[in-house]
Amino acid sequence: MQTIDLAKEELKRVDHMFYVSLKYTRTCDVIRNIINRMIASYNYVFSAILEDLESDDKISAIPTHDRLRAEKVLELKKNHKEFIQHYFLLRKIHDAEFDRREEYRKHVTLLAKFGEDTIFEVNVPLILDYYKKVIEYIKMVEEELK
């Protein structure tokens, strides 16, 4: 359960960044940092799941790369599909080229560019929804690991 605690610590940082840093700065850099912390939280949860499965001799080894860990969890836990897809979306947003709109204003928006024609808008309400989804996943995994 120690790895789950690390995921919770990341979420505490996300909470602070959302309710304090983003509230006062209104920058896309804070949005990117929030996304990065949520990704880290997911990575800790995947590690906890795989460590539990390894201790129960259900898998022989834990993959070393974060993306492979997520794919392994998806392979072994079909009911986690929605959350793992969310994880991959967060990674895609974080890795994409981005632009800024209305920075330093109430409706600050990060514009992630997925290719030539596709632009994904990340605003404050969407980040809040994503944050709640990560919290929901951690609670679900905690119940499963008890």
- The verdict on residue 107 lying in a domain is no
- The verdict on residue 37 lying in a domain is yes
- The verdict on residue 91 lying in a domain is yes
- The verdict on residue 108 lying in a domain is no
- The verdict on residue 69 lying in a domain is yes
How much is the pTM? 0.94
Alpha-carbon distance 69 to 42, whole Å? 10
Per-10-residue mean pLDDT, the chain, length 146:
90 96 95 98 97 93 95 96 98 96 94 93 97 97 92
- The verdict on residue 138 lying in a domain is yes
Alpha-carbon distance 81 to 3, whole Å? 21
pLDDT of residue 116: 84
How many separate domains does the chain show?
A: 1
Answer yes or no: are the C-beta atoms of 85 and 133 closer than 8 Å.
no
- The verdict on residue 101 lying in a domain is no
pLDDT of residue 1: 54
What domain range includes position 56? 2-95+124-145
| CA-closest candidate to residue 35, choices 98, 114, 122 | 122
- The verdict on residue 116 lying in a domain is no
CA angle (43 as vertex; 59, 122 as ends), nearest 5:
140
